[in-house]
Structure 1
Amino acid sequence: MATDALYAGRWDEAALPAVEAIRICTERGLLSFDWYFRYIHSMVAAGRGQVAAARRLTADISRWAVAHQALGVTEHALHARGFSDVSAGDYESAQQNAARLSPPGNSRPIGRPRCSRRSTW
């Protein structure tokens, strides 16, 4: 629900369930799900021009991702950080974050696994 509202630009509809989900995840110790709702909340904050809040949330996401070696989560944080940079008018930083996601000349789509061997299951 929050994801659909986010990508449709309906910030209020996206923010409310994301904030509620963050609260529930925190209360119940479901931190492996918490990052995604922080991502949605950071994207909404960036879309509203609340750059400091968006950057704080992306920093939280990045810290969790690094600690848990979660590359896909790191990519979501970079996406949200780039959006907050654009919102702040910091186009140089936005380009740098985009290049960290997919360096110039590299057509690898975001979120595609970087595995060097096949899964055995």
Structure 2
Amino acid sequence: FIAVCKHSDPETNDPGIKPPNEVPENRVGFSDVVVDSDGVLRRHLWSLNANRNSPCPTEVAFSLQLALHYLAAQGIEPKAIPEKRSLQLGNILLKPLENNFGGYRNLDDRGYQM
């Protein structure tokens, strides 16, 4: 079982949503999304630096928590590659979006987005 929460956002006065008290933090994922300036969801947020005052205690997305638990059952463990800001899953290297990637210019690339 993996519970979901949502981080607070001081810019929009969104208070966030706390996960159930009974669920340990390593079984919680956030549901926050990144919406482009035209209101379309094109990017996916895998992790972020949590606001200390947020009711959501995790820095890992719900979708990533699900994927990592599934892959662990298959014997595939994640490996961080800090010098490349990448995550390796088996023989696949996942790189985050960068500031000027593709059609994006001056992208808000905080957190780990794909």
TM-score (norm 2): 0.28
Would you tell me which structure has more strand in proportion to its own residues? 2
Would you tell me which structure has more helix in proportion to its own residues? 1
